Amino acid sequence: MPTMNVSLTAEMADFVEAEVSSGDYVSASEVVRDALRIMRHEKEQHEIKLGLLRAEIERGYREMEQGEFSHRSVDDIARAVRRERKA
């Protein structure tokens, strides 16, 4: 496994040491690997959400070009969303 040296702030180093001391992790390397796995997962989720948003924007443009418009106001839509959340 490749080795990489990193510089941490004192606060980050204390956090890593506390995680190891808690027994949740065997070593500082394990803490960092877990943090990187979480970071990778969050980035993947962000990319998925961004792709969905881009698809919805594209759909909106296509509908607009075809003359398909909603006659509801932003307030109407917001009220509908609030009603759905209460249900």
User: Domain-by-domain residue ranges, the chain?
Assistant: 10-86
Residue 69 has pLDDT above 90, yes or no: no
What is the per-residue pLDDT for 87? 80
User: What pTM value is reported for the model?
Assistant: 0.68
Query: pLDDT confidence of 59, banded at 50, 70, 90?
Result: very high
SS3 sequence of 38-75: HHHHHHHHHHHHHHHHHHHHHHHHHHHHCCCCCCCCHH
pLDDT, one tens digit per residue, over 9-58 is 999 999 999 999 999 999 999 999 999 999 999 999 999 999 999 999 99
DSSP-derived secondary structure letter, 71: -
Which has the closest alpha carbon to 86: 71, 49, 73, 78? 78
Asked whether the beta carbons of 26 and 19 are under 8 A apart, the reply is no
